[in-house]
Amino acid sequence: MIRYANVDGQLREPTTGLKGICPGCGNYVIAKCGSIKIHHWAHTQRIDCDPWWEPMTQWHLDWQNNFAPAWREVIFRDEQSGEFHRADIHTPQGMTIEFQHSPLSSKELESRNTFYKKLIWVVNAQPFKEQFTFASATPNPKSLFLVDFYFVVDHNGLAKSPRFYVKDEYNWHRQKGLLRSFTLEDPELRLVVEEFDKSEKQYWLFSWKNKVSGWLKSNAPVFLDFGDESLYLIKQRTQEPSPLLYLQAVKKKEFIAKYTSQADG
């Protein structure tokens, strides 16, 4: 779905009775302003010229409205192939932000990560909120006090609570069947706990039933939006035998301020 069309040389939002030109393909579009779907422009041929399109939702509009109109639905064209796509947001500093409501396959996600050179995803996580569990707040996995430890994780790289192996003991003790794990209650983690107690609880371990693996493996940053005041950035800590996957909470107002301030350099 398209939010903006060219009407008499100006980019306009849909209004009942208007006709315009698609900024991407140059074909005619008509304003669709019914009572069920979000108001949008539709191609007269009933086929969107951008194969990456998805139905527009109020969630999309609310996010786009945080950014200047000139940054919305920016057309990207590949000069060699002629392929083009509409970026939800493209900032003056070259950052593309895509707001994604529908699921994507890993292949689709990879192709978009490749097409847009500097890309951030904001994913509407509310549809799968009931399948998602914030298992436990955790110390910063990249704390200097944890450089000698591995997090205990399952085969997916997830953990329900902060438990640790000593890095230097891991391989030898695992082979001998003598591997010990530690919790935040153990004296070996005293400095970690002291730092954790003084910090804002912004790092989270989680579980995700029917998880979308593409988001967990994306090369571009992925922020999950559960509808509260924060976004949750999917992060990874390199370790053996599997990397730890965890979340970092980022206030929405700070995220918006960071990328809208790019207009000023």
Half-sphere exposure of 13 (CA within 13 A, CB side): 9
pLDDT at 117 over 50: yes
pLDDT digits (tens, 9 = 90+) for 63-102: 999 999 999 999 888 777 777 888 999 999 999 999 999 8
Residue 91 near residue 68 (C-beta atoms within 8 A): no
Do the Cβ atoms of 147 and 124 come closer than 8 Å? no
Find the mean pLDDT for residues 42-69: 84
pLDDT at residue 182, rounded to an integer: 94
Q: Count CB atoms within 10 A of the CB of residue 220.
A: 17
The answer to pTM > 0.75 is: yes
Q: Cα(86)–Cα(172) distance, rounded to whole angstroms? A: 53
pLDDT at position 262: 56
Q: What is the pLDDT of residues 189-204, one digit of tens each?
A: 999 999 999 988 899 9
Q: What is the pLDDT averaged over residues 219-242?
A: 96
Q: What is the mean pLDDT of the chain?
A: 89
pLDDT of res. 47: 67
For 158-169, what is each residue's pLDDT tens digit? Answer: 999 999 999 988
Instruction: Give the residue with greater pLDDT, 127 vs 84.
Output: 127
Q: What's the pLDDT at 98?
A: 96
User: Could you give the count of Cα atoms lying within 13 Å of 214 in the half-sphere of its Cβ?
Assistant: 15
68-72, 77-81, 144-148, 249-253: which has the minimum mean pLDDT?
A: 77-81
pLDDT average, residue stretch 27-32: 83
Amino acid 177: pLDDT: 60
Chain-centroid distance of CA 185 in Å reads: 33
